[in-house]
Every structure is written in structure tokens, then in C-alpha cells.
Amino acid sequence: MSQPPVQVAMYADADCWLGSIHLIRELLAVAGTLQRGPALFDVTVVGPTSAPVASFTGTQLTPDVGVEAAPPAQVIFLPAFYFPDRGRRAVGAALAAWLRQAYADGAIIVAITSSVRLLAETGLLDGREAACNPADWLTLRNHYPAIHCLPDAPLAIDGRVVTAASINPAIDACAYLVAHFYGDKAARKLARFANSTQQPSYGQFALASAAWRQHPDDRIRQAQAYIERQFMQPLTVPDVARRASMSERNFNRRFAAAVGMPPARYIMRCRIEHAKQLLSQQRVPVLTVALQCGFNDENAFRRAFRQLCGVTPGAYRGGGT
């Protein structure tokens, strides 16, 4: 018996990018079409009221319902907005209450580009990592110091809060939702369909690593984020321990307790996850993949890949050894 569709609420308000709303709705619809079954997601557009709202270009959209009458949602999307100034953006009491209550009830909140500034006003990003558009970084840093902003990260998944710095990573946020509710196979289908086949999409690694970051140790999550940004460079456990301002012994102990594996293995897993993306999407020599993933030589890469994946890189790609 198939499960009922996931209930998604898409917030629309003045200065939103209507294109991002339409893109997300269609991506979620495509995810169901690719499975050749019933719709996977049921999307409701929610506005401040049920009255039409105008995008920043003046194009109007009529919400299905106002925020105070919004039905329960398992996922809430705050789509892209256009905020050219660097001031704080006022958030109405009804919107803030709706978002906080939905999160308390277990919903996943997804904010895209400048809507991260709206979510910041609710306090739901305090103490969390958030990807942000470079144009919004100064605003977030100056007005919301409790947020760990990642201006160089296209996508951040911190518990049930997902932030995307631009439109492309929003595609990966949709793939993350498909994986969360319907499994990795369905998510890979959507990612292959929606992203370029020439190179891994920006957020696919964040998608793959999200399951390893579902723990409450904030400093270790920051260390994980640092590893995920730097694993393609020469990187050692002492390097990361110094970055985290811990002794190597304490860092190893605390990391393993939070993540379930020692940091050296986490670095290796990050490199191998990236290698799997490259092998799936590029017809390049194995040595090139090894070097792009932070390995110094091909043999070390082959040994690590086989240890973690059970097959050789060539067999994983479908090309023999």
C-alpha cells in the first residue's frame, strides 16, 4: 500500500521570486512522475492571507490559503526573495508563529537565498549552520550573530533546517526531501534528471553527508563542515583539531562519540563520497578522480574505495577493474 503524499507548504509574499516557487513545485511533481506512480508531494501555496501577492517584478500569485488557516505541513518552503537592502526584514507575528509551531511539530523548513533572512527573524536558525547568498552574508553576520553563516557553502542541512544559497542548490534540497521521505534511489533519479551530467551538483555532497550530522554537538558539526569544505586538500586530523581548538586526543574522542566514527575515517568517507559522484558522472581516468578527491596516488585511492564500497572504482563505474 503506497503512502499518502507528503504535505508541503510553499510560502508566497511580496518580493518573492515566483520562478522559484514554480521550479520547486515542478521538481516535486517530476519526482513523482519519475517513479511512475501517484504524486509524492502535495503542495499548498500559503500567503499572509488568501489575497493575491505581487512578486518583485509585479507579477501576481493568489495563494491557496492564508497563513492563519494553513493546514499541517511536513515540509515548509520559503522560496527565493529579492531583498536589495542590508537591513532586517520584518516578519509578521502570524508567519513567525506558523513557522515555529510547524518546526515544533516535526516539519522540515527549507529556506532559499534571501528567505534565510526571514527565517533568521524567527530564531529557528540560532545556533545552526546556514548557507547564505553572498549578498546576504553581511546582514546575517551583523544582525544575527547566533547563526553560523557559511557564505561559501551552497547548501547546508542542519537537522530539520535546510538552507540553500542560490537556485541551483535548491534543486539538491528537493532531492534531499525525496531521499528523506522516499529513499536514495528516488532521489538519485531526480538529481540525474534535474542536474548537469557533466559535473556533480553543488549540494549533492551535503545531501550525502546529512545523515552523519544529526547530533547535538555544535562544535563537532562545525568541524564536520570544515572537513566537508577542505577534504580535497591535504587535510589531517591534527589540522581539524586545531581548527576546533581542541587537543587531538579530546577531538578524536568527542568526534567519535557524536558521529559514530573517528575523524580520520570521516575524512576518508568524504573523499570516497565525492569520488562516487565523479565516477558516476564523468568519464575521466581513475587517477584524475583520485587527485580531485584529495588522494596523493591512485593505489591509495583504490584501496580506500574498495575498503569502504566493497568494489573497485572501475567496477563501481561499470567499467571493470
Tell me the pLDDT tens digit for each residue of 156-209: 888 899 999 888 888 888 888 888 888 877 877 787 777 644 444 445 566 666
The CATH superfamily assigned to 6-197 is Class I glutamine amidotransferase (GATase) domain (3.40.50.880)
6-197 matches 218-317 in fold? no
CATH class, domain 218-317, is mainly alpha
C-alpha cell at 123: 530564531
Residue 319: what pLDDT?
58
Per-domain residue ranges of the chain? 6-197, 218-317
Alpha helices in the chain (DSSP H): 18-34, 93-104, 115-122, 137-143, 167-182, 184-194, 204-209, 218-230, 237-243, 248-259, 263-281, 286-292, 298-309, 313-317
What would the pLDDT profile of 110-166 be if each residue is shown by its tens digit? 999 999 999 999 999 998 888 888 889 889 999 999 998 887 778 888 889 999 988
What would the pLDDT profile of 252-299 be if each residue is shown by its tens digit? 999 999 999 999 999 999 999 888 888 876 677 888 888 888 888 888
Residue 206: what pLDDT?
62
Q: How far is CA 315 from CA 52, 257, 312, in A?
A: 54, 34, 5
Does pTM surpass 0.75? Answer: no
Report yes or no: 165 and 155 within 8 Å, Cβ to Cβ.
yes
